[in-house]
Each structure stands twice: as C-alpha cells, then as structure tokens.
Amino acid sequence: MAMSPLLFIVFLLMLLEPCSSSRSNVYIVYMGERHHGLRPELVQEAHHGMLAAVLGSEQAAMDAILYSYRHGFSGFAAVLTGGQAARLSDWPGVVRVVRNRVLDQHTTRSWDFMGVNPSPSGGGILLESRFGEDSIIGVLDTGIWPESASFRDDGIGEVPRRWKGRCVAGEKFNASNCNRKIIGAKWYVKGYEAEYGKMNTSDIYEFMSARDAVGHGTHTASTAAGALVANASFRGLAKGVARGGAQRARLAVYKVCWATGDCTAADILAAFDDAIHDGVDVISVSLGQAPPLPAYVDDVLSIGSFHAVAKGVVVVCSAGNSGPYSETVINSAPWIVTVAAGTIDRIFLAKIILGNNSTYVGQTLYSGKHPSKSVRIVYAEDISSDNADDTDARSCTAGSLNATLVKGNVVLCFQTRAQRSASVAVETVKKARGVGVIFAQFLTKDIASSLDIPCVQVDYQVGTAILAYTTSMRNPVAQFSFPKTIVGELVAPEVAYFSSRGPSSLSPSILKPDIAAPGVNILAAWSPAAAISSAIGSVNFKIDSGTSMSCPHISGVVALLKSMHPNWSPAAVKSALVTTANVHDAYGFEMVSEAAPYNDANPFDYGGGHVNPNRAAHPGLVYDMGVSDYMRFLCSMGYNTSAISSMTQQQTTCQHTPKSQLNLNVPSITIPELRGKLTVSRTVTNVGPALSKYRARVEAPPGVDVTVSPSLLTFNSTVRKLPFKVTFQAKLKVQGRYTFGSLTWEDGTHTVRIPLVTSQTQRTQPLPQQSPGSGFSGGSGAGAGAGLFVVAPPASAIDAAGGGGGGRRWLLRRRRRGRAGEGSDEGIGAGTRRAATSMRKRREEKSRFSHLVFWKAESNCHKVKPTN
C-alpha cells in the first residue's frame, strides 16, 4: 500500500528529529486557565492524550510526563526533545512551552519591633485578628521540621472544614507528623530529578519527603506562623520568646527546594497548582530567579501567582539579595507582593582588646570557645601566598594566604570590591588553621555566620586603627570577648545592603519592591538535620538574614489581615500594606539605606516603606483591582492577545494606549519618562467609616509640579469608590534621573500615602506657560537634617548598654527634627571621637565617594548551596 505524501513527510520529520534535537530536557507546557466545566481528572486525561499524539503512544506519554497541572490552571511538565516541544507549542490551546528553570532560595525581636504584640488596651492587629486564627499560609520552600516547638498546636482548634489538602508520607515523615498547626505537607522532586538525575541521599543529606534537611523552610514557616517558644536563642544570643506573626494560623508546606539549593520550575508550578486547590489564603515564596528575568508569560512564579491571585490568594515573594545595585529586584509582577529587607533594633557586639590595652567593638555571631590568652594578629596582605594578588590577599580570598603564616594567628582582612564576603574570609583562614578573623568592611548590620572560628566584623575606621597597631608593633596581639545581645539602642529600620533595588527591569512603570520588612539577623526555628558547622553540629533555632526572612514577615501580616478582612482582594491587601507603611525610623527621621556610603532611602529601596501591621489593619482607603486590570497590563507589555486569553480564559482584545501601564490601579505612581505634561488616573475604595471625607496632600518630586483633581473625596453609604486624576508637569528641560515624592489622602484619622516616582526626559518643545488649575497642587518640601548614629562605638559601650545604668549609650539616638541641614554632634563618652555627622556632611560624602555605591552586595549569610 502506497504511503500518502503527507504521511511520508511526517515520517521523514520523525526520522530527522533525533538528529536535530535529540537531547531531552524538561519542558513546561502551559495551557492557561482550566475550563471550569471540566473535572480535574478529565483535564489530566486530555494532557496524556495530547502528549501521546506527539510521542506516538500512551505509554510513552506516561513515561514522559512529570506533572499534570489541573486545579488552578491547565498544563503539564514532561521530558521532551526540542523538536517535540516545538510541535507542542503549535498545538491548539497551548499558551507557552518553556524550559524548566532552576530558581534559588533567598533568612524575637522582629515582631515586637513592628508593634505586633498584644496591646494592654485590647486593640492592635494581633488581638483583632485573633492571632490569625484559621488563616492558612502555604509555604513553598525546603520543607519543615515538624517536631520543632514552633509548630506545636496548643490552643488551636480543629482544621478548617474548607481545607482540601493532605499530608503526603515519605522518608521519616508520615501523616502523624501533621497536627492542627501543620495541616498539609507535600513534596515535589520530579522536575529536579529530571534535570539532575536520581537524588542520591547517601551523598547529599536529604529526606525524600516534606521533612526539611536544610533549615530554610523551617525558618521561614516559623517566622510567619510559629507558636510561642520560651527561652529560644541561637547559642545564647537573642535569647527570649520566639514567635511567628500569625500564631494561630495554619501552615501548609510544599517542599520544592532541595539540599543542593536548587528549586525547579516544574516542581514550583506543581506546588502552586496544589496550593490553589488545597485552599490556602496566602502563598509565601522566599525564592526566585536572578536577573536577567524572563517575560511574565514565561516565568513560572508570575504564572503560578497570577492564577493564585485570580482565585483570591495573596502571593508574597522575596525581592532578592542582589542589592544595592539598581534594577536587581525580582518577582516584580504587579499582582505579587514583593518584599525588601530591613534591619531591626538588635545587634550582637563583642570587644576586641589589643595588646596596648586599646579596645574596639565589632559585631559577631560567634559564641563558641575563645583562646584563653591574647593571640598574634597578622595583616592579610603581609602574609599573601606566592602567586596571590595583593587585593585578593587583603580581602582573604580563597587560596590567597600563606597557610604557614596564618596558622595559629588572628588575620585582619579588608573588604574589597572583588571580595565582599566575611564568610569567604573565614573559610580561607579556617582552612589555613588560623584561629580568628577581624573583617573590616562598610557599615552594615548583616553579620556573617562564622561559627567554627571567631570573626568580628568592624567598620573601616576601626579596621584602619587595628592595622596601624598591627604594623607598628613587633608582636601585635588581640583577644575577643563573648558577644552580647543589645536591643533598643539601634537606629532602625534601615534598608539592608543586600536587599535588591528597583526599578523593575521588566516593567519600570510598576514600582518594585512593594514593601520592606525585617530581614536582618532574624531568629527563628531551624532543622536539627542541617548541621551549621563542623564544630557546633545542630541547633533548634538560628539567626539568619535575607529577603527570604523578610518575605514570611509579610506573609504572617497578610494572614492576620485575611482573618480580619476575609473578603479583601489580594490587591486590597497589598494596598493596605503599602499605603500605611513607615518611611521614617523609630526616632522620626527619614529611613536610610545601607550602602557605601549610607544614603537616604527611597521607594526603589523599600516601595511604600517599612510595614506597619497595626495601621494596615485599618487603612481607610484601598487601591483595588482584579484580573481584568492585570489583563490590560499584560496587553500593555505587548504580549500575544491569544496567549493572554488562554492564560485567563477570558476573551481579550488588546487596545494599546501609551498610558495603559501608568493607569494600572497600583498604590504608587511611577513615570519612567516624563515629557512635559502627563495625567494618570487612580481609583480608591473606602473600607473605613461610610461617611468620610479625604483631602489630598502632595509632596511633589523635585523639578515637577503635581496637581490632584479632585482634591477632596467624599464617601457615603452609597458612594464607596471614587476616581481621581494626578497631573504631572515637568519643570526642567532634561534631568535623566529619578526623583521622589508622595500623594497622601487624609481624613483626620487615616493617612493613605502612595509614592510618586518620576524621571524627566528631553521635551520635544518648550513648555507653555501654565495657569493654576482647579485641583490641589503640592510643592516640593525641604528636608530637615539629622545627625547619624556613631560609626565607631567606645569600648565601654557593651557594659554600659547591658548594665543597670551609668554609661552613655554608644549608638546615638538621632535628635528630633530640627532646621534643615542641622545634625547632632553630641559626644558619647570619655575618649570617644566625635563620629556623628550632619546631613550636609553625609551629602558631601555621598558626592565624594559616589563610586562606592556601585559595589555589589553579597549576603554573607545567604549562600544558595546548601542554604542561605
């Protein structure tokens, strides 16, 4: 029987395919929103039938498929060749076919610092939400250690009847490991094993179950919803009551990351699908992909979170740890709550006592055994190995030091642009059998987790003084004291150095990050299976830093908000967080951003500001929106209309307008290219008292006139939602850099603030003369100066701060606002240099040393493999 020409061509293509694209990889076939009329099992059958048609048999399809996404959306992950993937991409109903990607993980005082504690008056978000009772937080991470005291279910009621999830058994984990706190636990490894081969747990200490072998997932879960644990500490540091934000919230654990530090897209998307089906209220995701970022329609976190938000689930993600560079923020889709990291008012200080009796203070987390007597100090550059560069040796880069000269000594290292990590320096010295490290660096509160040998981090000023002593003495020696926990003396919050900054590289007209939360030196539960060092072994609680730690703080706050306001949309929840956030520190001054040197923080550092949970519970007004608004946003990004329709299962006709992104109803306004005059629109919904009047107050970005119309919004029982317009008029010919301001609606009780961000570009014609309009016009205000806290504390500081009085506090509290440019220059103790500087001097230093801003931060405590 003769073969038809068409079948002959298909046969030839099948023969040629192995030659041209025979290498198999994991691909995700995304088919958009699941048809509501189809049961999940029928969707799965359709996936198998479709794949069988391409692969040639049902058995081949069964062997190739890893996951069938059939609950929150439709699609599947399968092992395919490039040719097979290309054929599937042309299949009717297929939105996208993308390669499996590997994503990275991004780590108690913090809740008290944010004011989330029972109020004596009976008010506050914690009591009003009943401690987050029955909210369900889904955590996509490395799993959980269920035996931790942070996951006890004392005082928690029965599992909510709406819950559809379950506990999946596995290695050293079964259904009995769940309780009324941990109500779900699943694990996903098919995507990982398809990329890297079968997991070899004999080489990698890992559990083929939801049990956490890394610690990261246990830390994030307990931060969001851990129970009260008395006398918790990390080897005696930060001792006190550990607790999560939403203590009566439930946890659903989705293990998608493994001990290697890798988390694959196929596994993550499967976890999103299950979490949506299971009935979580919040999804907390402390992981992401480093820049360059894929398009939103190709990014699994954007896709999975889109479908979650469409079902009313709030998705909270970490902003990334690539700061302080601009345009490094990740997880930047407008439907995601993207979280930056800030500091809290706690620090761990130790003394360095030199042989000449000079004493300096630095930071350390080392609380192990110290040498009983003073030890010789050597300067790293003076003991470099034969082939090492001086710069590498100075920063104690791996292999840069002469091991013979290191042995038995304390090594003084200086941070350089090439090597910024104290952790690397510690490892270098430890391998050479040194007994300690003094690491001089820019001023930061993120402390390297040095646990095998002591490492004291100091600023450059102290480091330089110790270097002068070391080079001038024949036998320079030093001794370290044990660290002490100092609380309440620090100016906070500040934006952490490592926290990724905006603007978004994908959509610069959408302000990212959205919000900042505590993410530096956070104490939370840890997995005992994750040995933190060869000398110490396992711990039950650990101090860690990163946007991985700030993310679950916001997830916990969201759980509290959802308990109070179960009908709020994800956009309303985000708006409540952003519009009520703090942009000043605890002493009333504008927040600063850790950098080199320090800068005034701006919305690209913290979004709306540092979270204020109690104010977020009663925001007054919210900037609300839904799926149709996000569809218009996707249209404005230039994505294919049919792809958007498949993604949302709603017929979409894209009508591109220049301002379509600018008019997305987010709680901020960002104009990357302001030319002349531009008007954008927003709508607010009243969630406060029905009878309310709000008046606009504007702080315009420098060089821009801003007018709001109308400037008065009046709500009543029938009018709950009102639109307004904001007009921006550029006053400069060309500027080329971002400037910042704000728009605030006030009713005498509520303050609803959004950031204004503009960057002016060259106008095509001169500005016409403008007459005053009828709307409210705001001008640019002058900032008041403030002195900084001291850089180099005196040696007596620890004793003074930790005792019952007598000494001055070494971290100087900045004075209340005074005249512009005025700063505090108060001395703080005998023999202490005047180290406080005025705002004017800070600005001069910023100008003189602006090149230092471009140092890339490396989070000392956040190595992706095996943990961060």
- Enumerate the active-site residues: 141, 216, 548
Q: Could you tell me the CA-to-CA distances from 756 to 566, 611, 744, 745 in Å, in that order?
A: 30, 18, 10, 13
With contact defined as beta carbons under 8 Å apart, do 360 and 790 qualify?
Answer: no
HEC-encoded secondary structure of 588-624:
CCECEECCCCCEECCHHHHCCCECCHHHHCCCCEECC
Residues 280, 452: Cα–Cα separation, whole Å? 40
Query: Taking CA 659 as the corner, what is the angle to CA 658 and CA 662, rounded to the nearest 5 degrees?
Result: 140
Residues 259, 171: Cα–Cα separation, whole Å? 15
Six-digit token string for 755: 């950031």
Dump the DSSP string for 649-708.
TS-------TTTTTTS--SSEEEEEE-SEEEEEEEEEE-S-SSEEEEEEEEPPTTEEEEE
User: Across 364-500, where does the E strand assignment appear?
Assistant: 375-379, 410-414, 436-441, 455-459, 477-480, 484-487
Task: Report which residue type is found at 15.
Answer: L
Q: In 3D, which of 490, 492, 545 has the Cα closest to residue 522?
A: 545
Residues 764, 784: Cα–Cα separation, whole Å? 36
| 792: Cα separation from own chain's centroid | 29
Residues 302, 291: Cα–Cα separation, whole Å? 14
Q: Could you tell me the CA-to-CA distances from 778 to 561, 578, 699, 743, 773 in Å, in that order?
A: 32, 21, 6, 9, 12
**How many Cβ atoms from other residues are within 10 Å of residue 19's Cβ?**
8
With contact defined as beta carbons under 8 Å apart, do 452 and 430 qualify?
Answer: yes
Residues 161, 155: Cα–Cα separation, whole Å? 18
**How many Cβ atoms from other residues are within 10 Å of residue 402's Cβ?**
16
Cross-strand partners of 560: none
Residues 335, 562: Cα–Cα separation, whole Å? 17
Residues 365, 243: Cα–Cα separation, whole Å? 21
Q: Could you tell me the CA-to-CA distances from 831 to 356, 635, 789, 818 in Å, in that order?
A: 15, 64, 17, 28
Torsion, Cα 709 714 720 721, to 10 degrees, reads 0
Determine how β-strand 346-354 pairs with β-strand 515-518.
unpaired
